[in-house]
Amino acid sequence: MRTLRHLLRLLSNSLRPCLALACLSPAAFGVVARNDIEVVEVAEGVVQVDDRGVTTLSEAGAKIRRKAKVRVGADGRLVLALSNGARVLVGANSQFVVQAFVDSPSKGSLVELRPEFGRYTIALPRQGPGDVFVVRSSEGDQHLKTRGLYQLNIAQGSAAQQFVCLAGEVLFTPVASTSGPVRVKTGEQLSLASSGEALTTSIEPMNAAGRRAIVEQLAYEREFTVYPLEQNPTSTDVSKAAGGGSTAPLSAVLASIEDVVERQTQTNPSPTGG
């Protein structure tokens, strides 16, 4: 019996560093059927429109249909859970289409999100060899390459966009590009603006205050959890977020992001990734 208790204690200790990372598994969002995009939290003023007509999304458990146009009103808010483990927070005054979503246990998952305007925050779990998550706008494609936390803001009626890589890595390919994709890393923001008929692209490092402001904002979005995004997070404590599921402390999230930014700055000071 003593030997059994000893083995169980060793097993428990060995699993502690993985507790925070376990939040990135699909189970952390509840059971979502394969290939489903489920509403896990919704505020008023959200509808989806397709060939079936107009459907009001008023409660958790509703499903987002592929190729349906989803509109989030001025007082609306929407949190989506995908069966591949991704979670998307859609802010007020937003409109988007999930053009494609396939979640295959053998081939990986494919997500094509087409935002037209608004604010979108995406928490992405670890990506396998066959997994693809692309955010496709009128100005170009953002391929989210790794587990991470990303935010996109698109102005309505304008080409202006801002893509923030809080943690992870993005390859952005402009529609009219002849030079190939641009790499955006943890702690960097990509800004797009139109100058006449030309599209200007700039990548700049965010300062610590800017990163903290976004993460703190997410921490107060009650149903949207944020995670430590390193394999060995600074803190492995897991606490309950008010109104939401398991989440790492804000300090652990920020420490993980700052650690990545510091290492990248030491190895490659170029804001474009060199």
The answer as to whether 43 is a domain residue is: yes
Domain extent for 154: 30-267
The answer as to whether 241 is a domain residue is: yes
More confidently predicted of 87 and 13:
87
Domain count, the chain: 1
pTM for the full predicted model:
0.74
**What is the chain's length?**
274
The answer as to whether 272 is a domain residue is: no
The answer as to whether 24 is a domain residue is: no
Structure tokens at 182: 């641009």
The answer as to whether 125 is a domain residue is: yes
End-to-end CA distance of the chain: 58
d(CA 40, CA 60): 5
Structure tokens at 264: 């990248």
The answer as to whether 249 is a domain residue is: yes
pLDDT value at residue 235: 34
Kindly tell me if the per-residue pLDDT of 26 is higher than 60: no
CATH number for the domain harbouring residue 251? 2.60.120.1440
Kindly tell me if the per-residue pLDDT of 73 is higher than 80: yes
Q: Which residue shows structure tokens 């988007």?
A: 96
**What is the DSSP secondary structure assignment for residue 233, as one 8-state letter?**
-
Kindly tell me if the per-residue pLDDT of 160 is higher than 50: yes
The answer as to whether 211 is a domain residue is: yes
pLDDT value at residue 63: 92
CA atoms within 13 A on the CB side of 264: 21
The answer as to whether 133 is a domain residue is: yes
H-only helix segments in the chain: 2-15, 19-22, 208-219, 250-267
